[in-house]
Structure 1
Amino acid sequence: MEFEYDEFKSKRNKEKHGIDFVEAQLLWDDPDRMEIPAKAEDESRFVVIGKMGEKHWSAIVTYREKKVRIISVRRSRKEEIEFYES
């Protein structure tokens, strides 16, 4: 799988949420990861929920051609964790 992202946004995400977009790519190694549509007005976006170690993370992504574009990553919300664990 090929990824793309804005380098500046990746650095800002690391400062704000403690994870950059290179680290976030490990979410796709989780065989139990889930993907659900996200609300967006300008393009189709998805929330990818997965675990890295013992922590749940949620990535907002879109698909451009054959690449996954990472938009943001944060710790999963309570309802996202419940959805993942159900």
Structure 2
Amino acid sequence: MEFEWDPVKSAANYKKHGVSFTEALELFGDPERIEVVLSYQEERRFAVVGMVRGKHWTAIITYREGRTRIISVRRSHPKEERAYDENL
């Protein structure tokens, strides 16, 4: 899987949520991660929920030209945590 992101957005994400997009790549190593389709008009986006170092994290992504583009990463909301845990 090939990833891409805007480095300026990654730095802003780190400042706001305490995680960079490079660190967020660990999320995609979780074999139990779930992916939920989100409703966006411009392009289809997905919420990927998984565990990183024992904590739930959610990445918002899209797929462009065969690559996974990371848009944002944050700690998961309780509803997302439940969805992940129920999937185990």
The percent identity for this pair of structures is: 50
Structure 2 length as normaliser, TM-score?
0.96
The alignment yields a C-alpha RMSD, in angstroms, of: 0.5
Distance (Å, rounded) in 1 between the aligned partners of 2:19 and 2:38: 20
Count of matched residue positions in the alignment of Structure 1 and Structure 2: 86
- Alignment gaps of 5+ in structure 2: none
Structure 1 length as normaliser, TM-score?
0.98
1:33-52 equivalent positions in 2, closer than 5 A: 33-52=33-52
1:63-82 Cα shifts (integer Å, max 9, x gaps): 01110000000000000000
- Alignment gaps of 5+ in structure 1: none
The equivalent residue for 1:29 is 29
List structure 1 segments (4+ residues) > 2 angstroms apart after TM superposition.
none
Distance (Å, rounded) in 1 between the aligned partners of 2:55 and 2:21: 16
Distance (Å, rounded) in 1 between the aligned partners of 2:9 and 2:18: 13
The equivalent residue for 1:14 is 14
1:18-66 Cα shifts (integer Å, max 9, x gaps): 0010000111100000001012111000000000011100000000111
